[in-house]
């Protein structure tokens, strides 16, 4: 995602993905995408013969599994380069091979949120996707759903690898990132995603994203502007690879 956000379901897992995420989907994996915030999505399709070889490639999870990866500057540049026209088949082939090599060593992203499979925990997660500022505790949710708090807590960890508190924090910061790119002020964003004070929000955001909310917004808007100035194109190379920016 160059900008905006989407909900991606693949391999039985649903992720909420924001700007600067790369989703790796192995060939033949049934998946479904829903755009949840208008933006720019770059799709790259490559012949399975180009799949990175070796154990632990692609985020340490293996190339035969879906994964969400960090977008390194070179990978982002190659993605945009491949989507521009005109590109010769040879240029496209070289760009794809380098891109796949870069993605093979890319680290997993840890700011994405997965939705738990348990229907009760999933109901809580979907509600927080819609309203990250919802103040209800896990105990409150458990009472509303007529289930024990421990059962709900185990369902979150089993389905997402995170505790309820960790998951909610990640979702709040992800929503905040989108609001910041839209131009909302830091204080307003903090309130919208459930923080009692801007200072607490700034500290949490910087810890996860590595920069202040203002810096993140400025960088994201600059990248979005660059993408908007580029030509949108489709192309297919002689080796079966294709790029689609939309």
| 237 within some domain | no
**Same domain (yes/no): 196, 129:** yes
Per-residue pLDDT of the chain (246 residues; tens, 9 = 90+): 777 788 888 877 778 887 777 888 888 888 888 888 787 788 888 777 777 666 556 666 667 788 888 777 788 788 878 777 778 888 888 888 888 788 777 777 766 778 888 999 999 998 998 899 999 999 999 999 999 999 999 999 998 888 999 999 988 998 898 888 888 999 999 999 999 999 999 999 999 888 899 998 887 776 555 544 443 333 333 344 454 544
Q: What phi and psi, each to the nearest 5 degrees, are found at residue 132?
A: -60, -20
pTM for the model: 0.68
* Interacting residues of 130 by C-beta distance below 8 A, sequence separation 6+: none
Among 105, 140, 166, residue at a domain's last position: 105
Q: What's the pLDDT score for residue 166?
A: 92
Q: What phi and psi, each to the nearest 5 degrees, are found at residue 127?
A: -60, -40
* Interacting residues of 229 by C-beta distance below 8 A, sequence separation 6+: none
Q: What's the pLDDT score for residue 118?
A: 92
* Interacting residues of 237 by C-beta distance below 8 A, sequence separation 6+: 87, 89, 92, 93, 96
**Same domain (yes/no): 179, 95:** no
| 245 within some domain | no
Could you please report the per-residue DSSP string of 21-87?
EEEE--TT--EEEEEEEEEE-EEEE--GGGSPPSTTTTTTT-TTS-EEEE--HHHHHHHHHHHSS--
Report the number of distinct structural domains present in the chain: 2
Q: What's the pLDDT score for residue 88?
A: 84
Could you please report the per-residue DSSP string of 170-193?
HHHHHHHHHHHHTT--HHHHHHHT
Q: What's the pLDDT score for residue 22?
A: 84
Q: What's the pLDDT score for residue 231?
A: 33
**Same domain (yes/no): 91, 128:** no
**Same domain (yes/no): 137, 87:** no
Partner residues linked to 9 by β-bridges:
14, 32
Q: What's the pLDDT score for residue 203?
A: 95
Q: What's the pLDDT score for residue 106?
A: 77
Q: What's the pLDDT score for residue 135?
A: 94
**Same domain (yes/no): 188, 91:** no
| 241 within some domain | no
Full domain range(s) for residue 213:
117-223
| 111 within some domain | no
| CATH (domain of 148) | 1.10.10.60
Q: What's the pLDDT score for residue 236?
A: 39
| 228 within some domain | no
Q: What's the pLDDT score for residue 57?
A: 65
């Amino acid at each position: 995602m160059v900008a905006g956000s989407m909900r991606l379901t693949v391999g039985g897992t649903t992720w909420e993905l924001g700007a600067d995420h790369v989703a790796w989907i192995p060939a033949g994996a049934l998946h479904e995408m829903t755009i949840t915030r208008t933006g720019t999505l770059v799709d790259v399709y490559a012949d399975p013969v180009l799949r990175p070889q070796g154990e632990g490639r692609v985020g340490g999870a293996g190339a035969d599994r879906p994964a969400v990866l960090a977008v390194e500057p070179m990978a982002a540049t190659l993605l945009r380069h491949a989507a521009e026209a005109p590109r010769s088949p040879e240029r496209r082939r070289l760009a794809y091979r380098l891109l796949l090599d870069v993605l093979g060593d890319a680290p997993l992203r840890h700011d994405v949120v997965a939705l738990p499979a348990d229907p009760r925990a999933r109901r809580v997660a979907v509600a927080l996707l819609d309203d990250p500022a919802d103040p209800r505790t896990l105990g409150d949710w458990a009472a509303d759903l007529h289930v024990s708090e421990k059962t709900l807590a185990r369902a979150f960890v089993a389905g997402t690898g995170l505790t309820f508190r960790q998951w909610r924090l990640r979702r709040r910061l992800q929503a905040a990132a989108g609001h910041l790119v839209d131009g909302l002020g830091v204080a307003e964003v903090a309130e919208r995603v459930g923080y009692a004070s801007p200072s607490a929000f700034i500290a949490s955001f910087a810890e996860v994203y590595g920069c202040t909310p203002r810096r993140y917004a400025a960088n994201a808007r600059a990248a979005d502007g660059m993408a908007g100035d580029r030509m949108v194109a489709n192309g297919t190379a002689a080796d079966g690879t294709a790029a689609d920016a939309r």
